[in-house]
Amino acid sequence: MPGALDGVFILDFTRFQQGPFGTMLLSDLGADVLKIEEREHGDLGRRWATRDAGFSDYFEAYNRNKRSMTLNLRSAEGRRIVEQLVRGADVVAENFRPGVMERLGLGYDHLGAVNPRLVYAAASAFGPEGPLAQRPGFDHIAQAYGGIMVEQGGGPGHEPVALQGGFADQVSAMLFALAICSALYAREQTGVGQKVEVSLLGSQIIFQNRYLLNYLRTGRQPVRNTWRRSPTYTHYRTADGYVAVAAVNPHQWEPFCRGIGLPHLIDDPRFADPFDRQSNAAELTELLERHFLTRPTQAWLEDLIANDVPCGPVHDYAAVAADAQVLANQYIDEIDHPVLGHLRVPGVPIHMSETPPRRPGPAPELGQQTEEVLLRLGYSWDEIERLKADGVV
């Protein structure tokens, strides 16, 4: 069956992670994504985290199911080839430093004139306006600039703590994919293409929507003296590992207490309601830390689940890769890689009844489809050899 984006052709000029992950999500949904790369080395991500047989988990993770074409965008012939491709494209996606595509003669004003139905999607570090609009930036800079490192560390006055590398990239990439799909839908209603823009900074702001909204209303950013946000919405060390609990609703306090075998806490005046529990959080946390150490994780899980308390084990990657729930939903899938053979890979986290997403496939070899694309554009083999000799492809 065709995917939801079957028939959508995307010219992908993106590099590193923010852009490639966004276009990869669209390729999962059926779009034909042609990655345009520099002719010598391609996307710099190909050389990051390189493992055996030249395998880069960084590049493979963000470029599956795409095709690759090499092209010298600084050559007049290379730009003419882009224009030919744009005439049949639905989307151009790029995350160069702002102004790069314009200097190449491939900005929105030019390509939009070539194809008025084109959706031109640009992903930047700081957004299209303001004093930093032309500045470059990467994931760690966005985490720092957007405030999440201070919040993650416990608030003002604490040591800033970064999230997993690529966090800002990944969030921005999902907004990138959403913006592109929204523009494609709008085009179906109006017949007109448009330019859409997202940024690393903007993604960090909206991701912290609730916490920033509270600050903007009160003028105060809370400071936490512990990494725990709540004694009953956290994780605890057990006799053999960790257990996570999320008794966040007030009505879950009683089943939580029964599930951990401490029913006398239900009516304890120190913890009788959510405000009491927050006021006495340090005391309750210390009590629970000692208590959870007395039994193994599985025992706690069984009793908590029996009382319908949201809970779960704290997994490392080995546990994630073997988990029955993960496997049942194909969140971990399997592919045959042309170089490395059989591989287990993260799957597609979207299920659709009528237009199922594409199964994961390998990322393309550098320039793997260059000749195929040129032949479809009408170039002869002699002309293709000339383009190679001239350094165009």
Residue type, 10: I
| 315 C-beta neighbours (distance < 10 Å), count | 15
Contact predicate 83/58, CB 8 Å: no
Alpha helices (H) along 263-341: 274-279, 281-292, 297-306, 317-322, 324-328
Contact predicate 207/174, CB 8 Å: no
Contact predicate 73/86, CB 8 Å: no
Bridge-based pairing state of the strands 119-124 and 91-94? parallel
- Residue 151 CA: distances (Å) to CA of 52, 198, 217, 232: 38, 23, 17, 20
Read off the tokens for 126: 């700081």
Return the closest-CA partner of residue 361 out of 373, 372, 350, 345: 345
Please say if 169 is a catalytic residue. yes
Read off the tokens for 65: 């199911």
CA-to-CA distance for 139 and 159, rounded, in angstroms?
A: 19
Planar angle of CA 342, 344, 350, nearest 5 degrees: 130
3-state secondary structure of 263: helix
Return the closest-CA partner of residue 337 out of 69, 71, 70, 52: 52
CA-to-CA distance for 115 and 192, rounded, in angstroms?
A: 10
Instruction: For residue 289, give every residue at least 6 positions away whose Cβ sits within 8 Å of its Cβ, in sequence order, or none.
Output: 236, 237
Using DSSP, how many helices (H) and how many strands (E) does the chain show?
18, 11
Catalytic residue among 6, 28, 169, 273: 169
> How large is the angle between the packed helices 200-207 and 209-218, nearest 10 degrees?
70
Q: Which residues are marked as active site?
A: 169
